């Protein structure tokens, strides 16, 4: 089995209404679909949206096939529970690439640059066939391939995450910068050299994940 991380680049005409809303609204950055299912023509998902609730709700309220949704505010965005009727083709994003021997592994990242990033796992020949058989207006770009069954890992370790949080809290990323690496070390109660390494590695991992390349 192999795991493949894929970016699906959509032409404007190939965007779904919700994805189009994410792309056109300056108040919505991206949506991370955490899981769900499609049964009898109805798709149910749970996701986290990085953006403003009113902007996203205005997209949903303009769609006829939305059955129900519930929003829970959180830092940086909100959690979404959504049930919607599928279109005439009955195609759900959760199983659009699925085959007898291929599965889509959440999370699925719906981005404002007209791309969707997801991981699929299966037999190499079937994975290749699926990537070569995309619909008109959709181009598949392989970001990475693994020889094992895997999914996208968290971009940073717990210690790196704590270091980046401390850096943000003390104003290390402010312009102009309010505090230096010494303040981060004080927050973490560690040596300056340790704090510096944690921040640098965390930054490299986050940027590497954003670019989908090894840091």
The per-residue pLDDT for range 21-42, each reduced to its tens digit, is 999 999 999 999 999 988 888 9
For strand 77-85 and strand 28-39, is the pairing parallel, antiparallel, or unpaired?
Answer: unpaired
- Between the two ends of the chain, the Cα-to-Cα distance in Å is 25
Neighbour-count burial of 110, counting CB atoms closer than 10 A to its CB (0-12 exposed, 13-18 middle, 19+ buried): buried
- How remote is the C-alpha of 133 from its chain's centroid? 23
The per-residue pLDDT for range 81-111, each reduced to its tens digit, is 999 998 776 667 777 676 678 888 888 999 9
The per-residue pLDDT for range 142-192, each reduced to its tens digit, is 888 887 666 555 556 778 888 999 999 999 999 889 999 999 999 999 999
Rounded to 5 degrees, φ, ψ at 167 are -60, -45
Element (H, E) at 70: strand 66-74
Q: Look at residues 162, 168, 155, 164 and name the one whose alpha carbon lies nearest to residue 207.
A: 155
Please, are residues 159 and 37 in contact by the beta-carbon 8 Å criterion?
A: no
């Amino acid at each position: 089995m192999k795991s493949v991380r894929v970016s699906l680049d959509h032409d404007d005409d190939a965007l779904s209404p919700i994805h189009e809303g994410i792309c056109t609204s300056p108040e919505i950055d991206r949506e991370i679909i955490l899981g769900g299912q499609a049964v009898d023509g109805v798709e149910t998902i749970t996701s986290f949206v990085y953006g403003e609730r009113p902007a996203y709700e205005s997209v949903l309220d303009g769609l006829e096939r939305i059955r129900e949704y519930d929003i829970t505010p959180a830092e940086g965005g909100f959690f979404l529970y959504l049930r919607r009727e599928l279109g005439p083709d009955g195609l759900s994003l959760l199983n659009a690439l699925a085959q007898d021997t291929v599965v889509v592994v959440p999370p699925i990242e719906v981005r404002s640059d007209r791309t969707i990033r997801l991981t699929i796992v299966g037999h190499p020949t079937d994975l290749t066939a699926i990537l070569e058989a995309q619909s008109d207006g959709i181009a598949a770009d392989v970001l990475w391939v693994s020889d094992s069954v895997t999914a996208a890992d968290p971009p940073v370790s717990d210690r790196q995450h704590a270091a980046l949080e401390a850096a943000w809290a003390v104003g290390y990323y402010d312009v102009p910068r309010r505090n230096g690496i010494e303040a981060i070390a004080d927050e973490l109660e560690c040596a300056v050299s340790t704090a510096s390494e944690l921040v640098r590695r965390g930054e490299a991992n986050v940027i590497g994940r954003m670019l989908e390349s090894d840091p």
